[in-house]
Amino acid sequence: MRIGQIRVVVAAAAIALFGGLAPTAGAQTRIIGGGVVDAATVPWTVALFSSSVADSYQAQFCGGSLIDASWVLTAAHCVVGSPAASIEVGWGKTKLSTYTAADRHAIDRVEVNPQYDAGADTSDIALLHLTTPAVGAATIALDRDPAVPALGAPLATYGWGNTSSSGTVYPDDLYGVMLDDRSGPTGTCGSYGAVFIADHMVCAGVVGGGKDACQGDSGGPLVTTTPTPVLVGDTSFGTGCALAAYPGVWARTSSYADWVDQVVGAEAPRLAIGDATLVEGDTGTRALKFAVTLDVKSTTQISVPYATDTSGTATPGVDFTARAGTLVFKPNATSKVVSVPVRADANLEATETIGVALGLPTGGAIVADAAGVGTILDDDGASGLRLSIGDVVVGEGDYGSVVKAQFVVSLSQVPATTVTVGYTTVTGTAGGRDFTAKSGTLTFSASQRAKIVTINVGREWIPEADESFTVVLSGATGGGVTVTRATGTATIRNDD
């Protein structure tokens, strides 16, 4: 770390945008031998900040690469021994000084490669888990081919590290430099001798020296440049910087791909229970439906016990029927429903609530939201035959999966004649890609008091915040029915 070190802002003569393109010609005091890079062209390039230092220019101490919405790959020597809370990560902005508190993201796990050896500088690779997934951020794929990069292959590295090979000049801007692979998958590296282990490290530089990463660039990306950048290394060590006999050395990501897969893939599926609202009505029972969702498809079966409890104001056995059981998610299933019978009455009451709690799951899942809240809205202040729609809250499902938002549409009592009502979905903060628009007509026969409108909610991307849409009732006919609640709101909760 270089906390406390004085950074000197280098005035960039010209901003060279060369993510994947040619480096600036005639660059002098840039990253060693490189030029300023617009962070937008290398959006997966990450700055590591010390969370205790407010000034982002002073706080930056290493680099990294966003390899997944939830994971940053960096060097082990940057983070070993540091608690997760002491590190923040940022990306997408060229100038360190422009990273505000909101641009510095918390991490909640530091995974250092178990083979990391600080003395030998081997297996210098670590993963940082983001507390909140990087919304819409670009990620870079890991190289998995041990034959890549070939000797002489063009490579690029990026970082906010020292730009002077003879002194210390820490830039505010992100710098990058084009390098050549100097070892191939089996060769040697400059004068390092046995220190350099080709199948675990990548050697890069230029003949005669003058181009390299340097202090403060550690952990940052070394990438192939064509056709699309692929991550081949994280900045690890060097003797001096940009010396002719000592090229830079990067940890070879292909030799750690299995470990990365293991750590990233071991993320536990998260279970969450949603909330539900219905209007009580005067007679009979109707089901309050709580959506229980898994945020990822699991290849193994997951089960979770549930039970209504006494955390709500409604009384079990009086206002609703207590329920307990186990939900079983078959492989790839992401959505289940807990159904609780609510008993209607004609007494004027306040709004009542029902609690449903999830227990300990099997199958490696964890519970992200264990408490569902059911709300029973009283409509006994009104009279006659009334029709209403409730609300629903669903957890978000996995990308590409579908969860069901179930709206309860209910009559206050058994209708004497057939009652019909139209319904249609209306876009809210949740857009047309978030749910399947639907409209139709519900027909209540003389014995029916409740109907369910099921809307499929799809996951196109990781939502940034809760999103919502509505189902609106219209044109109710039959039995002198009055619509007392025409709009039901579905909230898609971002519970990551």
Q: Which is nearer to ligand ARG, 219 or 397 (CB)?
A: 219
Q: Which is nearer to ligand ARG, 159 or 488 (CB)?
A: 159
The closest of 486, 471, 473, 470 to 379, measured between CA atoms, is 486
Strand order through the sheet with 285-294 = 335-343, 285-294, 270-273, 366-369
CB of 3 to ligand ARG, least distance (A): 13
Q: Which is nearer to ligand ARG, 123 or 412 (CB)?
A: 123
Catalytic hit among 218, 236, 255, 388: 218
DSSP H/E element including 439 = strand 439-444
Does 77 qualify as catalytic in the annotation? yes
The closest of 353, 352, 351, 322 to 338, measured between CA atoms, is 322
CB of 190 to ligand ARG, least distance (A): 11
Q: Which is nearer to ligand ARG, 217 or 352 (CB)?
A: 217
Q: Are the C-beta atoms of 403 and 306 separated by less than 8 Å? A: no
Q: Which is nearer to ligand ARG, 201 or 408 (CB)?
A: 201
Does 434 qualify as catalytic in the annotation? no
CB of 170 to ligand ARG, least distance (A): 11
Q: Which is nearer to ligand ARG, 90 or 390 (CB)?
A: 90
Whole-angstrom distance, CA of residue 394 vs CA of residue 284: 26
CB of 264 to ligand ARG, least distance (A): 24
Q: Where along the sequence are the contacts to ligand ARG (CB under 6 A)?
A: 161, 212-218, 235, 237-238, 241, 248
The closest of 340, 335, 348 to 375, measured between CA atoms, is 340
- In the chain, the amino acid numbered 113 is N
Q: Are the C-beta atoms of 278 and 288 separated by less than 8 Å? A: yes
Whole-angstrom distance, CA of residue 277 vs CA of residue 490: 10
Cis peptide before 227 (omega within 30 of 0): yes
Q: Which CA distances in Å does 264 have to 70, 71, 365?
A: 8, 7, 15
Whole-angstrom distance, CA of residue 332 vs CA of residue 401: 9
CB of 39 to ligand ARG, least distance (A): 19
* Percent composition of the chain: helix, strand, coil (DSSP 3-state, to 5): 5, 40, 50
Compute, in degrees rounded to 10, the torsion defined by CA atoms 82, 87, 92, 94. Answer: -80
Q: Which is nearer to ligand ARG, 161 or 185 (CB)?
A: 161
Cis peptide before 229 (omega within 30 of 0): no
Q: Which CA distances in Å does 257 have to 67, 121, 233?
A: 11, 18, 11
CB of 221 to ligand ARG, least distance (A): 12
Is the alpha carbon torsion for 72, 75, 78, 83 positive or negative? positive
Which residue number has the CB closest to ligand ARG? Answer: 238
Catalytic hit among 56, 65, 70, 77: 77
Strands 105-112 and 126-130: antiparallel
Catalytic hit among 68, 121, 124, 295: 124
Q: Which is nearer to ligand ARG, 5 or 482 (CB)?
A: 5
CB of 62 to ligand ARG, least distance (A): 6
CB of 175 to ligand ARG, least distance (A): 13
Whole-angstrom distance, CA of residue 184 vs CA of residue 362: 46
Strands 482-485 and 386-389: parallel
Does 466 qualify as catalytic in the annotation? no
Just list the catalytic residues: 77, 124, 218
